[in-house]
Structure 1
Amino acid sequence: MTLRNTVTATATALVVGSFAIGASAESLRLGTEGAYPPFNFIESDGTITGFDVEIGLELCARIGAECEVVAQDWDGIIPGLLANKYDFIIASMFITEERKKQVDFSEPYYLAAMTHVVPKGSDITEFSNDALADKVIGAQAGTTQADFIEAMYPDADIRLYPTQDEVNLDMASGRIDMQVGDFLPMLDWTKKSDDGACCELSGEPITDPAFVGEGVGIALRQEDDDLRERLNAALKEIRADGTYKTINDKYFDVDVYTMK
């Protein structure tokens, strides 16, 4: 697998890689965010990588496609798909009924849960609206985590941010009292990063299907039935032959497909 990278820092959508598998291959564009480690992020040399990207590129190889990776800000990621900026999205997107009104999804490629994150030593131990009415709570805008805190904590001071990195920065700096994020990235941030050492996961994982949906899927335009089925077949193939596990184990200590 060879990545060729050309990054333009001022562009909203950055073309940052391609997967070379032959001149006659079908050309597709894979949309991702590029700001959500360890699932998708941009290395210091401009390479976009992460679990989402590696899975996506492997699926491209299995369906015989040459895939260009396009990074897009989260708040424009579904509009970008609908505007044909890319052909599918693999960016840790929860499959929800609301999103199904705009796009179709593949079968889940990993399971989904959210979590509360609080500073170490915090007195926050109860997660009701009454208990958190005077607290500042953060999440990334346009996400199911944002939907969750707005629905569950209407009396709190809600702060929404363009990227997860910005939520983490304010959390580490003490500008917010709690955040809600995806379980696996938050576990990774609190256990493996210097700034994340400020904080810890708290409470039970949030698995309400009203917010986390049916899992995490690849989003496609609703008319692209053939591409969806080809990606589903390729996903089954990489699960069966161990390729998925090899990629999974580079990033996680559990199988994120089963959360075991």
Structure 2
Amino acid sequence: MKFFSKVAGAVVGMAVLCGGTAEARDWSVIKSSGTMIAATEGAFFPFNYFEGPKLTGFEVELAEAVVAKLGLKMEWRVVSFDAQLASIRQDRFDFAIASHGYTEERAKSVDFANPHYCTGGQIAAAKDGPLTMDALKGKTVGVQLATSYYDNAKKIPGVQEIKTYKADPEAFSALRAKKVDAWISDKWLIKSTLEKNAGSGIVSGEQVFVERVSMILRKNNKELKDQLNNALAEVVKDGTYAKLSQKYFKTDISCHQ
């Protein structure tokens, strides 16, 4: 998790959000342009993050493989997670891939492609901390702002306080600094974070909910959605998906495992 990524996200995100009037791009316009414009967060290791100046991660490589199947070049935008739904409704990019779990509320604003991985919200805390939902009674929980983890943390009975952070690295830092008693986030992100910080004294706990994660795009852009779904299926079929899943997680994170 690189603090540079948050700075880059803020700068590029501002450029996207504050630019001139955008025009909706359907599949025919995208195809004729030769370039797909996609957005991600850049601060969600190992799904989308920066290695120095390079944007990478499971979702970044997967999206690039999907777009290559469509015979197009990729142009990235880095936008903070909490700004992405509003940005896509303003047609600032063609689709976003940033670990958006399907919710009925989000589906009112954007369309979801077929899921590219399945996961769930998981608790992380100190070894002697609250590692179950029952143990969170009277405790303070850290989550990323505007996420399904925040929505689901609110449903846990007896939680004393929920503190929100701009990105997960900040929530993890708050847990290590004992500013919160527990952190709830994506189970694969927590797995990777704890592997990178083996001496932190933080461990994973109970899974809170199950989630299906997809690319999102402007509503009623059916032809683009079909193209993305077909290309994703091809990337799964040719073995690219399996290679990326093993590279980043050493296991199958698809919804068919």
TM-score for both structures, normalised by structure 2: 0.85
Partner of 2:220: 223
Partner of 1:20: none
SS at match of 1:148: helix
AA at the equivalent of 2:142: G
Partner of 1:114: 121
Would you say 1:253 and 2:250 are equivalent positions?
Answer: yes
**Where do residues 64-143 of structure 1 align in structure 2 (5 Å cutoff)?**
64-122=71-129, 124-128=130-134, 131-143=135-147
Shift of 1:247: 1.6
Shift of 1:229: 0.4
Would you say 1:151 and 2:159 are equivalent positions?
Answer: no
Q: 1:56 aligns with which of 63, 67, 72?
A: 63
When residues 8 and 105 of structure 1 are mapped into structure 2, their CA distance, relative to the original with a 3 A threshold, is closer
Shift of 1:152: 1.6
Partner of 2:201: 198
Partner of 1:21: none
Q: 2:188 aligns with which of 184, 188, 209?
A: 184
Extract unaligned runs of 5+ from structure 2: 1-7, 17-31
Q: Decide whether the 8 Å contact of 2:12 with 2:79 is kept in 1.
A: no
When residues 235 and 133 of structure 1 are mapped into structure 2, their CA distance, relative to the original with a 3 A threshold, is same
Extract unaligned runs of 5+ from structure 1: 1-6, 16-23
Q: Which stretch of structure 1 is more off in the superposition, 152-161 or 55-64?
A: 152-161
Would you say 1:42 and 2:57 are equivalent positions?
Answer: no
Calculate percent identity across the aligned residue pairs: 28
Q: Decide whether the 8 Å contact of 1:14 with 1:71 is kept in 2.
A: no
Partner of 2:37: 29
AA at the equivalent of 1:70: R
Q: Distance in 2 between matches of 1:259 and 1:140?
A: 27
When residues 51 and 14 of structure 1 are mapped into structure 2, their CA distance, relative to the original with a 3 A threshold, is farther
AA at the equivalent of 1:12: G
* Higher-helix-fraction structure: 2
TM-score for both structures, normalised by structure 1: 0.84
Shift of 1:135: 1.2
When residues 259 and 187 of structure 1 are mapped into structure 2, their CA distance, relative to the original with a 3 A threshold, is farther
AA at the equivalent of 1:40: N
Q: How many residues align?
A: 236
Q: Which stretch of structure 1 is more off in the superposition, 131-140 or 167-176?
A: 131-140
RMSD: 2.1
